[in-house]
Structure 1
Amino acid sequence: MIPADLDTPPVLRELSDAEGYLAKICFKTGPPMLSGVELEWTVHDRTDPARPVDPDRLRAALGSHAPQTLDPAGASSPLPGHGTVSVEPGGQVEISSAPHRSLRALHLHTSADIDRLTELLASAGLRLGRSGIDPYRTPTPVVDTPRYRAMRTAFDRRGPAGRTMMYSTAGLQVCLDAGTPEGFRDRWDALHWLGPPLLAAFATARHHAGRDTGWASARMAAWFAIDPPRTRPAWTAARAGADPVATWSAYALGAPLLCVRRPDGDWRVPDGITFRDWIGGALPQPPTQEDLDYHISTLFPPVRARGYLEVRYLDAQPPGEWIAPVGVLAALLDDTAALSLAREACEPVLDRWDEAARHGLADPALARAAATVLRVALAAVDRTDLAPATRDQISHIVQRRLGAADRRRP
């Protein structure tokens, strides 16, 4: 018989226990080989995009691919390209791809999954959104779970931005290996200093609920407003070159708890208790390693460490265009010479996240940085295994974005 305590997650009684655990799980180093994406969209009625979409209609449309948040007894079957479907609190639909060893395979399999999802929704009179925030509807809940109820409670303390984020935004996340023990620090730094120019270049979230928000990415504006210790970058220019493990550990343990899982379904927690406080006895029961794993999933900075590196600063893209920011990021990180040139261009705009979200490429300094980064990236994309037609598509998308920015600037 297996002792019962072997099935019990280890308890974290000392801060050093948590720091050691984070060091093991958050930066799994090795040769960078895998990449993946998480693609999220708002969902709309095909003839009346402002009409709310209820969960029953979504569940029927997704069929066997519906997640358990919509269909607890369902199969949650993968899509043809092995991606899985989830549904966010506002009814946003997300595909999480399988990890792939090449950009070409990632593009082919994920495109097949998007095609299948599009067909399923179309059969129910639904379509995917085209931007990073709902341009038609005010924030409206669709899916309710203990996690989402706790999130709403926590974010409501700070104003309406939390509901906007939960119910109206859609992002594009790029997942990349952390890299070798010698190189993961540079990859961590690079993903942060590339952030403001790429956020600006691929911003798609200006119009929300029938109005012009005045932000190039109202999605990122909402994220930054809800809970800064949870959503602001863990990295700053002042910490360039610092140990990512120590930086991420301090960020994670210093962030407030969003929820604590309980059998009764009430996951809410008092305001302001950090994970560090929990280890120190702020709650009746001490946390476990599983609690720390879950806490990491409630942190939403522009770059998150989860064994791999998860880039979260990109808006959802129009149909067929997701491969452009994904290809740009992956190509740059795999090309040392290109990344060095891009880094030099980013130096003047380090930490300019707010300006990138508000002004996008209308900001001259960000536009200059983005133009250089994207020019260098396109050359690197041409050295990837992507099909020639896909490389041409990425170039066309990038050139169109830069050209539109030139026309908007005075």
Structure 2
Amino acid sequence: MADTASPITGKDQLVAFHAAGARAKDDWRIGTEHEKFVFRLDDLSPPPFDGPQGIEALLKGMTRFGWQPVEENGRVIALLRDGASVTLEPAGQFELSGAQLENIHQTCKETNQHLAEVKQVGDELGIGFLGMGFQPKWARADMPWMPKGRYKIMREYMPKVGTLGLDMMTRTCTVQTNLDFSDEADMVKKFRVSLALQPVATALFADSPFTEGKPNGYLSYRSHIWTDTDPDRTGMLDFVFEDGFGFERYVDYLLDVPMYFAYRDKRYIDCAGLSFRDFLAGKLAPLPGELPTLADWSDHMTTAFPEVRLKKYLEMRGADGGPWRRLCALPALWVGLLYDNEALDAAWDLVKDFSLAERHALRDGVPKHGLKLPFRGGSVRDLAIETLKISAQGLKNRRRLNRHGDDEALFLHPLMEIALADETPAERKLALYHGVWNGDIDQVFRQFAY
């Protein structure tokens, strides 16, 4: 295991850090993360951190299930158990970062257990949980802030570089999956396939059509928000498709992402906008003469927000949060595409001739138009159906069966239903809003809470 506290003396150590994530295929695992909005059952408002109905009370209530509390300045701000964690996004969005599991059956079991635990504690506290991509009712000013030092720094910096960064922090929820690679060439192929197809996931999972109780003109407003958050740390990473891309090129990208903070003596030091390259040279103004550690690099990696992110694994980041069936479907989609060689080859054949302009047109158009976005004489729906067929075959090839003899392809059924109907989750909610809900956004909480 790498020493995270020793000083980094050169870029080669950073490249080696990422390269060390390579695993033999038999050791590949699946990590799934999903966020959800917390709301008070009586008035649907987002609870603060403090108080009998607060987020800290929820975290403390979860310790009955064997979760170990993590504190910052004497406050419980996270939980740990068996390789998994529960953490808080800036406005109290409640996130499970799941353990490294072998198959989607285990992932779905983990998801079900987590949602059962939070519901039991939430019922006692009078709070509920909603899976969507964007907070449908409450204004940015209505959202609470969690007492985490890094969020204070980000909160002050975000408005300097984009207009929607604070919305990203306080009013969005996502589901993502983290997947392994065997070596640099495998990482490159998986990165390119998943980056090119990320808009397909965005379309299939699009579920954020409301802002402050009214339609906002988008199907995935959460995805749109990233286009005006911070151009230095978001986007489609065109260089991933260039010849020679590998670990070193990604490290160069991260070195050019401005810093937010450094963590020293249990406190966050404001480094917002400063250069990690200067840090690497011992010239970071707030820490003169100090060199970064791998722990600093690990922190810095989490402050880049591209559509696909490389750590010691690849993170798929394009999907809105949603109900439990789609929480299981997201990792199934990507495992089917990336963890079977036949499927990965087929997926690469599907996207390898996409032009830069086409990749950007998909990324920029899907948040508003979803599956109906025109693409190559058809639509994104056609691309989604082909992608799902490849993924399903990849899952069948894996032959990871449950006790009933079903393979993991069963978890793609909700996505295929969406694609065949040519109707995103957002469009279904909009139809309800304009129909039987009669414009009452409160019905979202009543009908779609976990």
TM-score bucket (shorter structure): 0.7 to 0.9
Q: Deviations over 1:138-176 (max 9, x none)?
A: 122330222001101110213441110111111112011
Determine whether 1:373 maps to 2:387: yes
Matches within 5 A, 1:100-111: 100-111=101-112
Amino acid of the residue matched to residue 15 of structure 2? A
Matches within 5 A, 1:55-74: 55-56=49-50, 57-62=54-59, 63=61, 64=63, 65=67, 68=70, 72=74
Q: Distance in 2 between matches of 1:38 and 1:389?
A: 22
Q: Deviations over 1:169-215 (max 9, x none)?
A: 11112011122355222122222122122222222122122222222
Partner of 1:310: 315
Say whether the 8 Å CA contact 2:384–2:419 is kept in structure 1.
no
Amino acid of the residue matched to residue 290 of structure 2? P
Partner of 2:413: 395
TM-score under structure 2 length normalisation: 0.79
Distance 1:166 1:186, change over 3 A: same
Partner of 1:325: 330
Q: Deviations over 1:244-282 (max 9, x none)?
A: 2122111100111112335595632353x3212333425
Instruction: Report how far residue 97 of structure 1 moved.
Output: 0.8
Q: Distance in 2 between matches of 1:304 and 1:171?
A: 14
- Matched residue of 2:309: which SS? strand
Determine whether 1:343 maps to 2:348: yes
Q: Distance in 2 between matches of 1:147 and 1:179?
A: 33
Say whether the 8 Å CA contact 1:137–1:210 is kept in structure 2.
yes
Q: Deviations over 1:268-325 (max 9, x none)?
A: 2353x32123334252233312322221121121211111111112211223321112
Among candidates 17, 29, 45, match of residue 22 of structure 2: 29
Partner of 2:178: 175
Among candidates 44, 47, 52, match of residue 53 of structure 1: 47
Say whether the 8 Å CA contact 1:131–1:205 is kept in structure 2.
yes
Say whether the 8 Å CA contact 2:86–2:97 is kept in structure 1.
yes
Matches within 5 A, 1:148-187: 148-187=151-190
Post-superposition, which runs of at least 4 consecutive aligned residues in structure 1 deviate over 6 A? none
Q: Which region of structure 1 is more displaced relative to structure 2, 256-265 or 208-217?
A: 256-265
Instruction: Report how far residue 99 of structure 1 moved.
Output: 0.3
Instruction: Report how far residue 73 of structure 1 moved.
Output: 5.9
Partner of 1:135: 136
Partner of 1:245: 247
Say whether the 8 Å CA contact 1:192–1:235 is kept in structure 2.
no
Among candidates 395, 400, 414, match of residue 385 of structure 1: 400
Q: Distance in 2 between matches of 1:146 and 1:179?
A: 36
Amino acid of the residue matched to residue 250 of structure 1? D
Determine whether 1:11 maps to 2:7: yes
Q: Which has the higher strand share?
A: 2
Distance 1:401 1:66, change over 3 A: farther
Determine whether 1:363 maps to 2:373: yes
Q: Deviations over 1:362-395 (max 9, x none)?
A: 2022222112111222233334425439744531
The sequence identity of aligned pairs, in percent, is: 23
Say whether the 8 Å CA contact 1:70–1:143 is kept in structure 2.
no
Computed over aligned residues only, the root mean square deviation of the Cα atoms, in angstroms, reads: 2.8
Distance 1:364 1:82, change over 3 A: same
Q: Which runs of 5+ in 2 are unaligned?
A: 428-450
Q: Distance in 1 between matches of 2:225 and 2:7?
A: 35
Distance 1:88 1:118, change over 3 A: same
Tell me how many residue pairs correspond in the alignment.
Answer: 394
Q: Which region of structure 1 is more displaced relative to structure 2, 138-147 or 246-255?
A: 138-147
- Matched residue of 1:194: which SS? helix
Among candidates 248, 258, 262, match of residue 260 of structure 2: 258
Partner of 2:433: none
- Matched residue of 1:405: which SS? coil
Q: Distance in 2 between matches of 1:253 and 1:231?
A: 14
Amino acid of the residue matched to residue 350 of structure 1? R
Q: Which runs of 5+ in 1 are unaligned?
A: 1-6
Q: Which region of structure 1 is more displaced relative to structure 2, 295-304 or 285-294?
A: 285-294
Q: Deviations over 1:6-53 (max 9, x none)?
A: x9933345xxx1x2122122231122321111111111123432x131
Q: Distance in 2 between matches of 1:12 and 1:406?
A: 47
Distance 1:406 1:315, change over 3 A: closer
Amino acid of the residue matched to residue 328 of structure 2? I
Distance 1:54 1:66, change over 3 A: farther
